[in-house]
Chains A and B, each alone.
Chain A
C-alpha cells in the first residue's frame, strides 16, 4: 500500500521511476546490482531498515537511499549515516536508538597507538618524553575495552527484539500530507497498511488504536462533505467510513457461518476442531436466533431484516460466550452502488494475491496483481483475491484443526514447536512466509485455548514447513507468545542466528523479517537442539 501511495506521489510530480518488487535480501541485492549504474536514488519500501545497507549493497558514494520501512530495530549505521541513507520515520515512533557516542568512536585514538609503527623512516632527531607514557597507554586501552564491552551490551539490548513501527503506508501518507498532496486513495491505502499490521499481529493493540485515531481524523477531514446533503458527491466517488465492525474475516463476501468457522478469533474460542466446539457454535447461533439456513447462505443474500441489527445481536451473544471484543474499530470503503469493502477484506485479498501459489508468470506478477487490486478500477482482481483469501483461511483453519487434534504442537521447554510434514494438505501454501506466519499465529491462539497446561500458554512458537523438497529445505518461523499484554516483540531473529552459528547449520536469512529463515532439512535437529539450549 505504501508503494501505491508513492506511485501516486511520483505521478503527481512527474517523476520517472522503476518499480522492482523484491521478496528478500538476495533479490534486493540483485535488483540493486542491476540498477545501480542507471540510478542514483533508490527508495526502499518495507525493507532495508534493519540491516547495514552500505555493508550489504556496497554502493558508490553518490548513491542515495530513502528507506521507508516498519522493521525495527533500525540498524544503527543506517540511523547515523546522514549522507547516503535517509530514513523516513514517524517522529513519535519510539526508536530508543543508542546514543552515537556509545556505539561509535572516532578512530583518532587508535591512530595515536599505531603512530609508533613507522614505515622504515629515519629516527627522530629529538624526542620529547611524555607524561607516564605507559600508564597513559594502558589506561587508554582499558577504557577502550570497557567501552567496547558496554557497546556490545547496548547493541545486544537494542537488537535483541524484532518488532514493527508505524506502517510504511501511513508514513507515506504523512509525507503526502506534509506536501499537501494527500488524496483519499492514499488515505485508504494507509488504512489498509495499518489493518495489515493488525491482521498479521505485528503491532500491539495499543498501537493499533492510536494509529486508528490518527487516521480517523484524516478520514473525517477528507470525507466530511458527504454529510452535507447539498454538496453530496456522486455515488461513484469513493467514501471512507469509520466504524465498529465485526472482526469476522470476509463475512460480507462469504456466509456468516463460513466466516465464523474460519476466523481465528471465533474458531479458537469455540474450539471448533472438537465436537464440543461445533456444538458450542450451534448453541451460539441458536442464542442469536438466526435460522441456520440464513446463516449458511451468502451474506449478500441474507434477509435484509435480519441484517439490520445483526452486529448488535451477534455482539450480545458473543459477550455471553466470552468473546468480549468481537467488534473492533476499523474503516470501510464505499463506491458505486454496491461496492463496500472493509479494510481487512482488502488485506486478506491482497496478501493472498501476493502469495498465490498458482504460478502465472514470473515471481513479480503476484506483486503487480496485488498492487493492481488496490486500485478501484480493478474489481475483478480484488474479487479474485477475495476468493484466494477464502481458500487460504480455510486451509489455515483445517491445518490448525489437524495440528491440534493430532497433537502436533510439542512443548520443547523454552518454546512450542510444530512441524508440518511433506504431504499435509495445502502444505505448499505454507512455504510462503506470510501464510506460514498467519498459520503460526492462528495455531498458537488455538493452542492456547485448547491446552490446560498453564505454562505452555505463555510460550512462543516455532513452526517449520517444507519449503523446497528438491533442495531439501524447510522454512522456519518464530513468533512471540500469545498473551493479553504481548508487546509483539520477537527474539527469534537473533536466536536463530546464534543457533545456526553455533551448529554450522546451513541457513539462509533471506527474509526481511529476521525471525523467518530457510534451513537445510538435515540440519534441522541440531539447529533445534541448539535453539533449545540457547533459550533454556
Chain B
C-alpha cells in the first residue's frame, strides 16, 4: 500500500478505531492516575514504608464495610513490644496482612524490625487465641521465604512453640502450626531433623483421624511429606517407621491432593538405599501404589510411578514384589501416556526391571511390554526414547538368546537404528553396544549374516558407517569395531543379490522366520 505519512491528515485513518478525542481522554485519565499514585507514594515514604502498603486490591477494600487502617512499621514495633494486648493484636494482624499480600511481601523489613522473638512469645499466649493465630500466620509466612528467613524464625525459638501449638484446642491454630512446621521442615535435612528431635511426629500424627477436615488433612500430609523429604542424610529410621503407617492410611483417602502428597512422601522414602526401600515394601503398600499409577490424575500418577520406579532400583526380590503387585500390567499404558514426562519415567522404571534376572525379563515379554516399547522408541519424546534405549540395552545384556530373538522380532531394530542419528553420544554408544550384544547372540545361533542383512536393509549399516566420522572418539571406535567385525569382507557383496528373493527378505521381521 502506497500510504505515505502525510502530516495531520493521517489522523483520518485511525488504525486503532479510537478517534483523537477518546484517545486524548484516556491519556488524561492515565496521567491523573499516575499523579495520584505518586502522591500516595510520597505519603508512604514519610511513614518510612517503601511501597504498596495498602491492600493490593483497592476494590476489595472498598467492598468491605470496615476500611482497614494500616499502621506504619514503627507503630507496629511499638505496639508489638508494648503491653497493650489490644494493640499487640492489631499490630500482629497488620504484620500478618503485610506478609500475606500477593506481591512483594516485606519479609526482610519485618525481620529487621526484630519482632520475631516477640511473635514467638505470642504463640504461647494460650489465653489470647486471636493473637496466637495472627502470630502463627505471620511466622508461617516469614518461614516460607529463603533459608535465611526460615532461620530467623527458628532462631527466634519457634520450633518448640509451634510443636506445642499442634495440640491447641483451636483447630485453626493447630492447622496454622502444622503449616509453619512444614515450612521449617521443607528448608532441608538440618531443620527437618531438628523438628524430629523435638518429637514433632507424635502430636502431628495425632491430628490425623477420619474426622479431620480435608483442608487440614492436606496441610498435615504436606508437612509429613516434608519430614520424609531430602537426603544426605535421609530422615532417621525410627521417624520413618512412625510416619509410614499413617502414610499408608492417607493413601487410602479420597482427596486427590492428600493422595498426591502421600505418594510424594513415599517416593522420597524409596529414593534411598535398599534397606530403606525394604522398610517401605514391608508396609505392603506396593499394590496400592501400582493402583494409583493407573489414576487418571497426573498429579497422582507422577509420584506413584516415581515411588514404584524407586522400588525397582532395589534388589531383585524388591523388584519382584513390585512385579507381583502388578507394575508390568500398568506400564504399557504409561509408556503410551500423553505426557512425555510420564513416558520417560515409565521407561526408566522398565529399564530397571529389564536389568533383572531373565525370569523378570520373561515377565516383561509375557506382559506385552515389547510393542509399547517399540512404539516409544520410534515416536516417543526424545528423553523417553533415551530411557527406552536403556531398556533395550539392559534387556540384551541380561536376556537369554531366545528372549533377545523375541526382542528383535518385535521390531525393535528399526527405531533403534534410527536413533543412531541422535545428537547424544551416550545414547549412540549405548545403541552400538546393544548392537554388538545382538551380534553375540546371533553368533551363538550362527545367524550373523542374517543379522547383517537385516541391519543393512534397515539402513543401519549406512548410519554405523557414518558414525566413523563422529567427533566422539569412543563412538568412532565402537562403530569401527562393528564394521570391521561384521561388515567387512566380500561375502556381503555376494549376499546382496539374494536379498530380493520372493520380493521379501528371507529374514524380515514380518515373515516371523527370523531366528538367527
Question: What is the interface of chain A, defined by CB distance below 8 A to chain B?
Answer: 9-10, 13, 15, 41, 43, 66, 74, 78-80, 82, 86-91, 95, 97, 99-100, 118-131, 136, 139, 143, 174-175, 178-179
Residues from chain A with Cβ under 8 Å of B6 in the complex:
178-179
Evaluate contact between B12 and A90: CB separation under 8 angstroms.
Answer: yes
Partner among A13, A89, A119 whose Cβ is within 8 Å of the Cβ of B17: A89
Q: Please state if B97 and A87 are interface contacts (CB–CB under 8 Å).
A: no
Is B356 close to A, CB under 8 A? no
Considering the complex, give the chain B residue whose CB is closest to the CB of A87.
Answer: B17
**Inter-subunit contact A129/B100 (CB<8 Å):** yes
Interface string of B299-334 (1 = CB under 8 A from A): 101110000000000000000000000000000000
Knowing A120-B342, A125-B187, A127-B144, say if A74 contacts B2 (CB, 8 Å).
no
CB distance from A218 to the nearest CB of B (A): 14
Q: Which residues of B contact A87 (CB under 8 A)?
A: 13-15, 17
Residues of A contacting B63 in the complex (Cβ-Cβ under 8 angstroms): 139
Considering only CB atoms, which chain A residue lies closest to B6 in the complex?
A: A178
Q: Which residue of A lies closest to B146 (CB)?
A: A126
Seen from chain B, the residues whose Cβ lies within 8 Å of a Cβ on chain A are: 1-4, 6, 9-20, 22, 57, 59-60, 63, 97, 99-102, 105, 137, 140-141, 143-145, 150, 176, 179, 182-183, 186-187, 222, 225-226, 229, 260-261, 264, 298-299, 301-303, 339, 341-342
Tell me how far the C-beta of A493 lies from the nearest C-beta in chain B, rounded to whole angstroms. Answer: 20
B145 A126 Cβ-Cβ under 8 A: yes
The listed residue (A15, A89, A97, A121) touching B13 by CB distance below 8 A is A89
Which chain B residue shows the least CB distance to A116? B257
Q: Which residue of the partner chain, among A66, A97, A125, contacts B186 with CB atoms under 8 Å?
A: A125
Flag if A80 contacts B12 (CB, 8 Å).
no
Contact B105 A128 (CB under 8 A): yes
The answer for the CA separation of A38 and B9 in the assembled complex, in Å, is 32
* Chain A hits for B15, CB < 8 A: 82, 86-87
Inter-subunit contact A129/B140 (CB<8 Å): yes
Q: How far apart are the CA atoms of A95 and B22 in the complex, in Å?
A: 12
Query: What are 8 of the A-B contact pairs (CB < 8 Å)?
Result: A79-B16, A119-B298, A119-B299, A126-B187, A129-B144, A131-B100, A131-B101, A175-B3
A91 to B141: give the CA distance in the assembly, Å: 55
Would A82 and B16 count as touching, CB distance under 8 A? yes
Contact yes or no, B17 A95, CB < 8 A? yes
Closest to B186 in A: A125
Name the distance in Å between A34's Cβ and chain B's nearest Cβ.
21
Given contacts A120-B339, A125-B229, contact A79 B17 (CB under 8 A): yes
Interface centre among A80, A123, A127, A175 (most CB of B within 10 A): A123
Chain A neighbourhood of B105, CB < 8 A: 128
With A91-B20, A126-B183 as known contacts, state yes or no: A131 contacts B97, CB within 8 Å. yes
Q: Which residue of A lies closest to B14 (CB)?
A: A89
- Contact status A91-B11, CB under 8 Å: yes
B226 and A128 within 8 A (CB): no
Additional 9 contacts, C-beta under 8 A, given A122-B264, A131-B101: A66-B1, A91-B14, A95-B19, A119-B299, A123-B264, A129-B140, A129-B144, A129-B179, A139-B63
Q: Give which listed residue, A127, A129, A178, contacts B137 with CB less than 8 A.
A: A129
A130, B100: Cβ atoms closer than 8 Å: yes
Q: Could you tell me the distance between the alpha carbons of A91 and B102 in the complex, rounded to whole angstroms?
A: 44
Contact (Cβ within 8 A) B141 A129: yes
Contacts of A43 in B (CB 8 A): 1
Cα–Cα, bound, A464→B187 (Å): 77
Q: Is the CB of A128 within 8 A of B100?
A: yes
Residue picked from A9, A119, A120, most chain B C-beta under 10 Å: A120
Instruction: Tell me, in angstroms, the Cα distance from A424 to B10 when the chains sit together.
Output: 52
CA distance A130 to B98 in the complex (A): 10
Nearest CB in chain A: distance from B68 CB, A? 11
> Is the pair A91, B19 in contact by a Cβ cutoff of 8 Å?
yes
Cross-interface CB contact of A179 among B4, B97, B229, B303, cutoff 8 Å: B4
Q: How far is the CB of B57 from chain A (nearest CB, A)?
A: 7
Q: Nearest Cβ in chain B — how far from A92, in angstroms?
A: 8
Residue among B13, B222, B299 with most chain A CB within 10 A: B13
Q: How far is the CA of A88 from the CA of B11 in the complex (A)?
A: 11
The answer to whether A9 and B2 have CB atoms under 8 Å apart is yes
Partner of A120, one of B97, B229, B341: B341
Residue from A41, A100, A126, A127 within 8 A of B1 (CB atoms): A41
Q: Assess the A91–B12 pair: CB atoms within 8 A.
A: yes
Contacts of B16 on A, CB cut-off 8 Å? 79-80, 82
**Bound state CA distance, A202 and B11, in angstroms?**
26
CA separation between A302 and B427, bound complex, in Å?
Answer: 99
Tell me which of B13, B17, B261, B301 contacts A123 (CB under 8 A). Answer: B261
Q: Which residues of A contact B12 (CB under 8 A)?
A: 90-91, 174, 178
A74 touches B261 (CB 8 A): no
Q: Which chain A residue lies CB-closest to B19?
A: A91
CB distance from A67 to the nearest CB of B (A): 11
Q: Is the CB of A80 within 8 A of B17?
A: yes
Contact of A13 with B60 in the complex, beta carbons under 8 Å: no
Interchain nearest-CB distance for B411 vs A (Å) = 30
Residues of chain A with a CB closer than 8 A to B17's CB: 74, 78-80, 87, 89, 95, 97
Chain A residues near B229 (CB, 8 Å)?
Answer: 125
Cβ-closest chain A residue relative to B184: A126
Nearest Cβ on chain A to B367's Cβ, whole angstroms: 24
Q: Name the distance in Å between A194's Cβ and chain B's nearest Cβ.
A: 17
Q: Which of chain B's residues have a CB closer than 8 A to the CB of A143?
A: 59
Smallest CB-CB separation from B298: which chain A residue? A120
Partner of A126, one of B186, B299, B341, B342: B186
A180 nearest in chain B by CB position: B6
Instruction: State how many angstroms separate the Cβ of B141 from the closest Cβ of chain A.
Output: 5
Expressed in whole angstroms, the minimum distance between the Cβ of B355 and any Cβ of chain A is: 25
| Highest count of chain B CB atoms <10 Å: which of A131, A143, A175 | A131
Q: Which single residue of chain B is at the shortest CB-CB distance from A6? A: B1
A136-B60 CB under 8 A given contacts A74-B17, A91-B20: yes
Contacts A41-B1, A91-B12, A179-B6 hold; do A127 and B264 have CB atoms under 8 A apart?
no
Is the beta-carbon distance between A97 and B20 smaller than 8 angstroms?
Answer: no
B492: min CB distance to chain A, Å:
48
Q: Measured between alpha carbons, how far is A126 from B16 in the docked complex, in Å?
A: 46
Which 6 A-B pairs rank lowest in CB-CB distance, beginning with the nearest? Answer: A120-B302, A79-B17, A125-B186, A178-B9, A128-B144, A120-B298
* In contact, B301 and A120 (Cβ under 8 angstroms): yes
A175 cross-chain contacts in B, Cβ below 8 A: 3, 13
Question: With a CB–CB cut-off of 8 A, which chain B residues contact A130?
Answer: 100-102
When C-beta atoms are compared, the residue in chain A nearest to B63 turns out to be: A139
Residues of B within 8 A of A136 (CB): 57, 60
Given A88-B13, A91-B20, A119-B298: A126 touches B144 (CB 8 Å cut-off): yes
CA–CA, A492 and B18, complex, Å: 27
The answer on a CB contact under 8 Å between B299 and A120 is yes
- Give the CA-CA distance A78 to B14 in the complex, in Å: 12
CA distance A520 to B63 in the complex (A): 54
Q: A91-B20, A120-B302, A139-B60 are in contact. Are A127 and B179 (CB under 8 A)?
A: yes
Query: What is the bound-complex CA distance between A50 and B385, given in angstroms?
Result: 50
